[in-house]
Amino acid sequence: MGYLFTSESVSEGHPDKVADQISDALLDKFLAFDPNSKVACETMVTTGQVILAGEVKTNTYIDAQEVAREVISRIGYTKSEYQFDGNSCGVLSAIHEQSPDINRGVDREDPMAQGAGDQGMMFGYACKETDDYMPLALELSHRLLIELAAIRRGGREMTYLRPDSKSQVTIQYADDDTIERVHTIVVSTQHDDFGPNDELMLAKIKKDVRNILIPRVIKQLPARMQAMFDENFILHVNPTGKFVIGGPHGDTGLTGRKIIVDTYGGKGAHGGGAFSGKDPSKVDRSAAYAARHIAKNLVAAGVAEELLVQLSYAIGVAEPVGIYVNTYGKSNLSLTDGQIADKVTELFDLRPAAIEQRLKLRNPIYEETAAYGHMGRTPRTVVKKFESPYFEGLELEVELFTWEKLDYIEKVKEAFNL
């Protein structure tokens, strides 16, 4: 009989993602001018207002209000009719110094003895459903919204688009977990007011999603993913019929409320910790990236067809208190999952400072992670510029999405005799 599995994504203009991007832009600015900054920034956005809060320990100073306005304008909230725009919204900063009780558990005389910034468990997951070793439902959900944003910015088609949007994709599986087809696609996009005739407006948007957006996304996919689409998939577009009021005016946005969108779309597992606004001493973020790096390299090396890694930490303690591996019965080895976990411990140094060094996490690389998922992205090197009214401007070359690099495949193969 098989089964259905669904994942969703939200656009960069979704209110929670606006908050995430502001928090990570603040983090990047702190790290650019002081790589040793300890940062935990939270953002709330609502009609005409941005509230910044959190804890920071740093030797630099930034204009937090200006950072927030730049992010909001970049996303596309630049018109007064949105009831939220980068030039006119109010920005209140309540950022204060990090608690010394937390800091004493992190800083050490020996940098490699740095303790975890908090307790908790973090998960990494990988599978062979896509070339990025990500679940298909989530990857398609992200791709729909990335392309929708590209169409909006292009300004030539679907010119009524506004920044806020959501997507959802349901995949049909056979009983043996193989993908059969794309079953249902849902796209809800904010749009300009067309006037009094809601039915004509909805028909136009649905036609454009079917004839412009979806074909563009399918064209970008490898052949094996294109084959999952047939003419019978179900399409829902703006199911409520109208989506003019959106963004922070339609719903209040908060940092850290889209943690499943940020990771694996409900596949695998999640430890509950959010990422955005946190520097890498917070293992909520750095250990989740490390776990993904491990899972992806193990699957790519052929250890298993699907794999989950859990890392768990105690605040102030460097070594993880537990490492867990689950291959879902899809291991290609004669080893138990516990034995695979033991090998992982030997292969990867999982102390927080070692993770920071290995994945180059003390760089300003985080604003790019804050929309369309932290996992499954393409590693690349970019040059980023940072201006400041207080210090000389910086131009930094940084590597993005280092945890997605397949740089441990040979080491994994050697360790597991593959």
Q: Output the CA torsion sign for 375, 381, 383, 388.
A: positive
16 marked as part of a ligand binding site: yes
What would the two tokens of residue 148 be?
């929708």
Q: Which residues pair with 381 in a beta bridge?
A: 399
113 marked as part of a ligand binding site: no
User: What SS3 state is found at 28?
Assistant: helix
258 marked as part of a ligand binding site: yes
166 marked as part of a ligand binding site: yes
Distance, in Å, from the CA atom of 314 to the CA atom of 81, rounded to the nearest integer, reads 48
Which of 22, 14, 58, 60 minimizes the C-alpha distance to 41? 22
Query: CA-based Rg of the chain, rounded to a whole angstrom?
Result: 22
129 marked as part of a ligand binding site: no
257 marked as part of a ligand binding site: yes
Distance, in Å, from the CA atom of 129 to the CA atom of 300, rounded to the nearest integer, reads 12
251 marked as part of a ligand binding site: yes
367 marked as part of a ligand binding site: no
Distance, in Å, from the CA atom of 17 to the CA atom of 75, rounded to the nearest integer, reads 10
242 marked as part of a ligand binding site: yes
274 marked as part of a ligand binding site: yes
Distance, CA of 208 to chain centre: 27
119 marked as part of a ligand binding site: no
14 marked as part of a ligand binding site: yes
395 marked as part of a ligand binding site: no
306 marked as part of a ligand binding site: no
Which of 124, 369, 408, 73 minimizes the C-alpha distance to 247? 73
Binding residues for K(+): 42
Output the known binding site for L-methionine: 55, 98, 251, 282
Binding residues for Mg(2+): 16
> Which residues belong to the annotated binding site for ATP?
14, 164-166, 242-243, 251, 257-258, 274, 278
The annotated binding site is made up of 14, 16, 42, 55, 98, 164-166, 242-243, 251, 257-258, 274, 278, 282
